[in-house]
A and B are shown apart, each in its own frame.
Chain A
Amino acid sequence: MTASGTLTPGGASPGGASPSAVRSGPQPPAVRRGVLVVAVVGALLLGFLVVTALVTRPAGRPALDVASAESDGTRALAQILRTRGVAVSPADAMPAGSAGQQDTLVVVGPGRLTHDALTDLLGRVWRGSDVVLVAPGNAVLDALDVGIATADRQPAGGGSDPRCALPEAAVAGSATIGGSRAFTPADGGDLGDMRLTLCYGDPPDAAQLAVLSPDRTDAAPAAGRLVLLGSADFLTNRELDRSGNAALALGLLARHPTLSWITPAADAAGGVGTRSAAELLPAGFRWAGLQALVVLVLLALWRGRRLGPPVPEPLPVIVRAAETVEGRGRLYAAAHARDRAADALRAGTRVRLAERTGLPVLAGPTGTPGPDPVALVASVSEQTGRSPSEIGSLLYGSGMPPQTTGAPSPLGRARDRYQSRHLPPDAARPAEPAASGVSGARRGTVGTGGAGRPGERDAALLALARALDELDRQVGGR
């Protein structure tokens, strides 16, 4: 919106106010585009929320929970163990093991345990406890340092036979351990005084069950064991009654009267197998981020290179001509210069009335042009039918008219008629334009007692202005 269309002298608006009000801010097309973008973003967000709500399962019990009767829970196993006299207690942290106590520890998700906790577990094995780790990863196996690693390849299908000399496996016969993780002796690994038995799957290259027992020469009363399960599927409610799964499970877990079913909390810090979000990202991601930085630099170069600099414009100094008048008005208002304002309003009205009634406007003794007071009052009074004293007080009074609050007045008729509540007909004063406004103001203030607050007296000025207007209209109109 340029001002080119409005550069006409004496243009459409006499006040010059409305065309100078130029709309700023974004243009309608830009606003429409913004609304469109917001709408698209809103629609995408809504779609995302709907899809998320549809695909997310309601929160239930986690898999391998001893209290869960779901198909992936292990409640059946826990019940069987209890009937065999084993006390099964679920836990989310390692129980404080007392020396000499021999029990069974099942750790679901051993990757969440810290290095120290795993070392502690190994110590328990040496002290005679059974420790069963469900699907340990390489990180856990490295931390344990028992010379076992996960196998590179999956066990050949259908390998449900024990293929080993472990008594429990031999008793159970074929079992479907399931899962895809298998174990094999690590290259150059040191078993560390442990005896290794690999069962199921494809031993020794890819066994689904690995059992390590301390190879101690001193005759311990009951040797502990470290059992690595490739998967815990065969322990679940769904799989427990298949093949020899239940027998294998009881053989592995029921060797001690107490069993702790440990599921470490997911948010436990310091787990050897847990990886940060950055570690989970693909390797190319960081480089892609770096490349994105390069793109950002190029983008800055592209957008930053302008097609020539901005052009300087020598602007003329243009101010609104009426600004000084408005400023002086504000100064009057700030100083509550009522007397001066009232004088100016009266003088202006006097000249207008004189022009209308055809009286000559003469330069007064002070230089201010004005008509002959006596003639003006007489003429105006004749035209309006109002009393000369009232007119005289209105046009030639000085200072503020005093406020009256219902004081009886001999000229109440005129007051009612013109509703000049704040302008009671004062005692008719002869024309004295040069009379000091200060004395008038004092009279107004003191004479009425208590009407001296600036707000009220400003209201009196407003009333005076309206009364003068009314007079102006009466003389001009009829």
Chain B
Amino acid sequence: MAITGRAVALALFGVLVVLLSPAPGLTMVLVDLVVVGLVGVDLALAGGVRTLEFTRSGATSARLGQPVPLVLGIANDGARTVRARVRDAWPPSAGARPRAHRVIVPAGERRFLETTLYPTRRGDREPFRITVRSLGPLGLAGRQGRHHCPWRVRVLPPFTSRRHLPAALARLREVEGEVAIRGAGAGSEFDSLRDYVIGDDVRLIDWRGTARRGAVVVRTFRPERDRRVVCVLDTGRTSAGRVGDVPRLDHALDAALLLTAVALRAGDRVGLVAHDSVPRVTLPGSHDHAFLARMTDAMARLEPAIVEADHGGIVSTVLRETSRRCLVVLFTELVPAVIEEGLLPALGTLTARHTVVVAALRDPRVDELAAGREDVRAVYAAAAAEQTLMRRRELTETLRRRGVEVVDAPPAGYAAAVTDAYLTLKSLGRL
């Protein structure tokens, strides 16, 4: 039960009556009895809350940043009209608006309420509880009760790097030789034979074809198709660090999505592994175009885990998931202690079977700190930042010596840099 402002106003009016009454004590008792009586009558005449039935409909997933319109249906199976305030409660990060609805549902009828979610974070969002306050005809008091009506809205990663997709695809076409400006020596996979023109490398002459044809022909090559790419996301503690306004993991998801979109278009198979101390998500390779949607869906629920990433475990998971040689893109952070103790010992087995790219996000804040010269404190911070950058450079060098490609880019160009590294490797035939 709940009373409304009207009941309070009635009692407040009673103050005036008592003040002016010749018999104030008796008047007060009478006034309060009247208030209690009216509230009781109102409660008795209010429509039932339990006889309401709720249904939901609407979108079940949306990219972060898009509104999610949802409809909540209320059916009144009771005998009386229900005048109600309804709050469809969602977690704050779902951004449900409006907070509460006013609705009148006559007996035996049905009404629909529109709630729009404006999610502020990735992940699954479920409604918490529906609270109904059914007011009586006088509007003095109401019955209050709760209902549950399950639903789930999956908020997908925003894929903001989609804007880089046309440029990346243009470069892909260039690499594949579909456009006039041919990339030099693009690929290692045999494509076709053509007539020799002056300037062609004599090593490319196909003697058997020349003999059969009577004219000199050369072999042409194209980039390999049907290669394998595995995106490996490190969801350990280092991925929780916020760079700009989003955690590192979200930057990595964005870059992985762009890479996947381009690789699928290039005809490669893409797989996904997310791992911290245990494997979180494992999607086997696929060159199905619907894979991007599946991957987005799987990524939606990934959250950084506050545990140290087990790089040995990551490597063994990748080796288990892959049979043929593939490109392993490891989205992680270049933290010297973690990499030196975890990744480097396990790297040998990985580089022996696969091409490895380590994609690290460079924090612009560190560069900003390194340039600080305002006062002594800023200089000390700059020294700390320089030291961090130096360690990072050192680590990059170590990794490169072990045959690993390292991408180290600031957030603005991170996704594009990772995709560029992939395209470069592809054009060099190193997949």
Contacts and interface: CB of A to CB of B under 8 A. Distances in A.
A318 B240 contact: yes
B15 A307 contact: no
B386 interface: yes
Given A20-B245, A321-B242, A345-B383, A10 B411 contact: yes
Nearest to A285: B19
Given A284-B19, A287-B28, A302-B7, A10 B413 contact: yes
Given A9-B251, A16-B242, 20 more contacts: A3-B120, A7-B245, A9-B246, A9-B415, A10-B410, A284-B18, A285-B19, A287-B18, A288-B18, A291-B28, A305-B2, A308-B129, A316-B247, A321-B248, A325-B366, A325-B381, A332-B384, A341-B384, A461-B379, A466-B373
B149 to A, nearest CB: 13
A307 B381 contact: no
Given A9-B414, A321-B365, A369-B394, A348 B386 contact: yes
Contact of B87 (A291, A292, A307, A459): A307
Contacts of A368: 390, 394
B15 A291 contact: yes
Contacts of A345: 379, 382-383, 386
Interface stretch (B71-79, B89-97, B182-190): B89-97
28 contacts: A4-B65, A7-B64, A7-B246, A9-B161, A9-B411, A10-B413, A11-B411, A15-B364, A284-B27, A287-B25, A287-B27, A290-B18, A291-B18, A291-B31, A295-B12, A302-B3, A302-B4, A308-B130, A316-B121, A318-B242, A321-B242, A329-B385, A330-B381, A342-B383, A344-B383, A345-B386, A348-B390, A351-B390
A53 interface: no
Interface residues of B, number: 94
Closest 10 CB pairs of A and B: A329-B381, A321-B241, A308-B131, A10-B411, A341-B383, A348-B386, A287-B24, A16-B244, A284-B24, A322-B365
Given A7-B246, A311-B92, A462-B375, A321 B363 contact: yes
A302 B121 CA distance: 34
B248 to A, nearest CB: 6
Contacts of B324: none
B384 A344 contact: yes
Contacts of B35: 298
Nearest to A326: B381
Contacts of A341: 379-380, 383-384
Contacts of B331: none
Interface residues on A, range: 35 or more
Contacts of A30: none
Interface of A: 2-4, 6-11, 13-17, 19-20, 282-288, 290-292, 294-295, 298-299, 301-302, 305, 307-309, 311-314, 316-322, 325-326, 328-333, 337, 340-342, 344-345, 347-348, 351, 361, 363, 367-369, 458-459, 461-462, 465-466, 469
Contacts of B130: 308
B344 to A, nearest CB: 13
* Residues of B contacting A: mostly: helix
Contacts of A14: 244, 364, 368, 410-412
B373 A462 contact: yes
A111 B112 CA distance: 75
Interface string B250-281: 11001000000000000000000000000000
Nearest to B248: A321
B361 to A, nearest CB: 8
A295 B303 contact: no
